[in-house]
Chain A
Amino acid sequence: MNLPRLSLAYLKARPLNTALNMTLLALGVGTIALLLLASHQLEEHMGRDARGIDLVAGAKGSPMQLVLSAVFHIDAPTGNIPVADAKKLAQNRAVKRAIPLALGDSFRGFRIAGTTHDYVSHYGGELAAGRLWEAPMEVVLGALTARASGLGVGDKFVGSHGLAGGGDAHGDYRYAVVGVLKPTGSVLDRLVLANVESVWIVHVHPEKHDDPKAVLAQLREDEQEITALLIQYATPIAAATLPRLINSTSALQAASPAYESARLFRMLGVGIEVLRAFALVLVAAAGLSIFIALYNAMEERRYDLAVMRMLGASPGKLMRLVLVEALALAIAGAVVGLALGHLLTEVVGGMLAAEQQPAVTGAAWLASELWLVALAAGVGLVAGLVPAWRAYRTDIATTLAQG
């Protein structure tokens, strides 16, 4: 026998109370764990997707929409811009590198992005099979796209109009898979990559049944459009001058991924803060419940405590017994809560994955979760202090004589 086992015997003797306290604490800790995991992983995903992209230039509209559509591929594009404008911008001395992006079609919910090989190398993409696209209508699949669709090198498929999936199929043009990428953990995994011309062919003349090359040859200058240009600055000073230049002198707008995603998190942050405050209220309620349960238990256990003193226990030992009990309850609740949080995160992750959104997983652990256990232990300890003090102060001789 030792203090933890004795505490356990008492916890088992009151199963309903114990279960209630553990549940309350687990709900609070689980909610906080879910928030921590989801917001951390989403921020990490967005950080990875936006890394190295200083500015996005696209059609006028909401700058956040432009960033969401062109960098994270989760919103509809603001519109298209003429290739001529994009070319002019790319030649600006303040621009180190500009990657074009032409959007418009999708395949089973995965976007087909017309771009250059630079886009792949920007995210450190490597081929798992096949080669990169060279000719129009040749595509390379991101790792997640390939796994979800089951397609591989040599397969052909028909894209559908629009980005949401389920739009009209462009029945006449078939994409040919020539390569599959290894997982990168970035937005690359969820895309179908082709060259810009492929998007033009499918999009501008969907009614033509001709050879793609012939279609391309007939394309008018004003039909050559892209959706956005992903820009990397040549010098830090460009950050001060280039956005203003673009916004004031052309039909384009410039948006900063860093600024827009910070703005997005600030807006989401209010909701996250509310949820977090709610979770803390749950934790506090659990602490109060543990306090009341132990306080009442001390009343019921007056005789037990007096008997323990009679058997030779010091007041300090009784105090430790009560604190160990509160602590055991709190830590058990925290562990169940963490398990619950990870389970919920995995469920949310599964729901997001079904929407082709950035994956969130419950299988990852954060160091800050240990702080949650510490928080719960602290709540348990504080809740146990007053009951422990009562145990310490038990008047044994009087109590033993009563009954």
Chain B
Amino acid sequence: MPTLRELTRPGETPMIAVESLLHRYGATTVLTLQSWRASAGEHCLILGASGSGKTTLLGIVAGLLRPSEGRVEVAGEGLARLSGPALDRFRGRHIGFVPQKLHLITSLDVAANLVLAQFMAGVAQDRARVREVLAAVGLADRLGAQPAQLSHGQAQRVAVARAVVNRPNVILADEPTSNLDDAHCAATLDLLESQASACGATLVIATHDQRAKSRFATRLELSPGRAS
């Protein structure tokens, strides 16, 4: 079997490289993926119906889950080689994650939610950077607001800001457009693309939303129980 390096075209190091991936919950195989790569700065879409393993794949790339089988490299680092705390540290520095349910910390205000991302990643706490990112997503005047006071759209922008505040190499977004009308859907995708471009990150959006399909040239289609 060829190694990842051999599969990669010369001169191009993939930001994300997945090989012979298989993940099981108990006896059920929830994800199989033969090979998938995304290069630096690329914006791509993972499409698939519910239960096709999109969230599982994002979890594995983010280092939140260890796959049952297969190899995953992110930014040239083999995730299987990293110990638990090292993997946590790696995730904090290199990966920005926007979960489907945004999960802002309700005990902290908007700015503190972003400072928390810096604190948990173990990077310097930079209030100027927090203001800059919140201004970039159009929330310059909501720094002291409580998450409960925000509209869904505003909360989503805070979640995106939280994902990009540490200038990650990879931004992963799980179903960002579900339950949004067409206008908000487009605005959310615009926001994710512009923020990813702003920090030169690879953007991976997992969705079953067909409206997103036309915007992205690079697409990975997942279907349950079948190798892609």
Tell me the A residues contacting B by CB distance below 8 Å.
1-2, 6, 9-10, 12-13, 303-304, 306-317, 396-397, 400-403
- Give B68-126 interface residues, CB cut-off 8 Å to A: 84-85, 88-89, 91-93, 97, 99-101, 103, 105-108, 112, 115-122, 125
Determine how close the nearest CB of chain A comes to the CB of B77; give it in whole angstroms. Answer: 14
Is the beta-carbon distance between A312 and B121 smaller than 8 angstroms?
A: yes
Name B25's closest neighbour in chain A (CB-CB). Answer: A398
- Given A312-B93, A314-B85, list of 19 further CB < 8 A pairs? A1-B112, A1-B119, A2-B119, A6-B116, A9-B108, A303-B101, A310-B62, A310-B64, A311-B116, A312-B89, A312-B117, A312-B120, A315-B88, A400-B103, A401-B55, A401-B99, A401-B100, A401-B174, A403-B100
Selected A-B contacts with CB under 8 Å, 12 pairs: A9-B107, A12-B107, A309-B64, A310-B64, A310-B99, A311-B121, A312-B117, A312-B121, A314-B84, A397-B65, A402-B101, A403-B101
Complex Cα distance A13/B17, Å?
42
Residues of A within 8 A of B99 (CB): 307, 310, 400-401, 403
User: Which chain B residues border A310 with CB–CB below 8 Å?
Assistant: 62, 64, 91, 97, 99
What is B's interface to A at a CB cutoff of 8 Å?
A: 55-56, 59, 62, 64-65, 84-85, 88-89, 91-93, 97, 99-101, 103, 105-108, 112, 115-122, 125, 162, 174
Residues of B within 8 A of A12 (CB): 107
Q: How far is the CA of A311 from the CA of B84 in the complex (A)?
A: 14
Chain A residues with CB under 8 A of B162: 311
Judge whether A314 and B119 touch: CB under 8 Å. no
Give chain B's interface secondary structure class. helix
Enumerate chain A residues within 8 angstroms of B64, measured Cβ to Cβ: 309-310, 396-397, 400
Whether A316 pairs with B85 at a CB distance below 8 angstroms is yes
With a cutoff of 8 Å between Cβ atoms, the chain B residues found around residue A312 in the complex are 88-89, 91-93, 117, 120-122
Min distance, Cβ B140 to any Cβ of chain A, angstroms: 21
Top 9 closest pairs, chain A to chain B, by CB = A312-B92, A403-B101, A311-B120, A312-B121, A13-B107, A397-B59, A397-B64, A313-B120, A314-B85
Complex CA–CA separation, A175 to B135 (angstroms): 87
CB of B107 within 8 A of CB of A308, answer no
Complex CA–CA separation, A306 to B122 (angstroms):
16
- Are B88 and A307 in contact, with the CB atoms below 8 A? no
Q: How far is the CA of A309 from the CA of B62 in the complex (A)?
A: 11
CB nearest to B90 among chain A residues: A312
In the assembled complex, which residues on chain A have CB atoms less than 8 Å from the CB atom of B56? 397
Say how far A223's CB is from chain B's closest CB, in angstroms: 83
List A contacts of B116 (CB < 8 A). Answer: 1, 6, 308, 311
- CB-nearest residue of chain A to B165: A311
Instruction: State whether A307 touches B93 (Cβ < 8 A).
Output: no
* B85 A307 Cβ-Cβ under 8 A: no
Q: A9-B112, A397-B59 are in contact. Are A314 and B107 (CB under 8 A)?
A: no
A306 (CB) vs chain B CBs: closest residue:
B103
- Smallest Cβ distance from A306 to chain B, in angstroms? 7
How far, in whole Å, are A396 and B108 apart by their CA atoms in the complex?
20
Question: Known interface pairs A1-B115, A10-B107. Does A315 touch B84 (Cβ–Cβ under 8 Å)?
Answer: yes
Residue of B nearest to A1 (CB): B119
CB distance from B190 to the nearest CB of A (A): 24
A314-B65 contact in complex given A1-B115, A400-B99, A403-B101, C-beta closer than 8 Å: no
Residue numbers in A under 8 Å from B100 (CB-CB): 401, 403
> For the complex, what is the distance from the CA of A13 to the CA of B119, rounded to whole Å?
20
Please indicate which of the listed interface residues A6, A13, A403 has the most CB atoms of chain B within 10 Å of its own CB.
Answer: A6
Which residue among B105, B106, B174 has the maximum number of chain A CB atoms within 10 Å of its CB? B105
A402 / chain B contacts, CB cutoff of 8 Å: 101
Q: How far is the CB of B124 from chain A (nearest CB, A)?
A: 11
Closest chain A residue to B159, Cβ basis: A307
Q: Which residues of B contact A9 (CB under 8 A)?
A: 107-108, 112
Distance (Å) between the CB of B52 and the closest chain A CB?
A: 13
CA distance A389 to B118 in the complex (A): 24
Docked-complex contact B120 and A317, CB < 8 angstroms: yes
Residues of B contacting A308 with CB < 8 Å? Answer: 116, 120
Q: What residues of A have a CB within 8 angstroms of the CB of B107 in the complex?
A: 9-10, 12-13, 304
By beta carbon, the residue of chain B nearest A11 is B107
Task: Tell me the bound Cα distance from A311 to B118 in angstroms.
Answer: 8
Establish whether residues B103 and A311, one from each chain, have CB atoms under 8 Å apart when the complex forms: no
Q: Which residues of A contact B65 (CB under 8 A)?
A: 397
- Residues of B within 8 Å of A317, CB to CB, are 120
Residue in A6, A13, A313, A401 whose CB lies within 8 Å of B92: A313
Residues of B with C-beta under 8 A to A10: 107
- Chain A residue numbers with a CB within 8 Å of B122 are 312
A71 CB → nearest B CB, Å: 61
Q: Residues of A contacting B97 with CB < 8 Å?
A: 310, 400
Asked whether, in the complex, the Cβ of B88 is within 8 Å of the Cβ of A313, the reply is yes
* Chain B residues within an 8 Å CB radius of A6: 108, 116, 119
Q: Give Cα A103 to B120, complex, Å.
A: 76
* Most chain B C-beta atoms within 10 Å of own C-beta, residue among A307, A396, A403: A307
Which residue of chain B has its CB nearest to the CB of A317? B120
B103 / chain A contacts, CB cutoff of 8 Å: 303-304, 306-307, 400, 403
- B115, closest chain A residue (CB): A1
Q: How far is the CB of B159 from chain A (nearest CB, A)?
A: 10
Whether A311 contacts B106 in the complex (CB less than 8 A), given A1-B112, A397-B65, comes out as no
Q: Chain A residues near B93: list those with CB within 8 A.
A: 312
* CB neighbours of A307 from chain B (8 A): 99, 103, 105
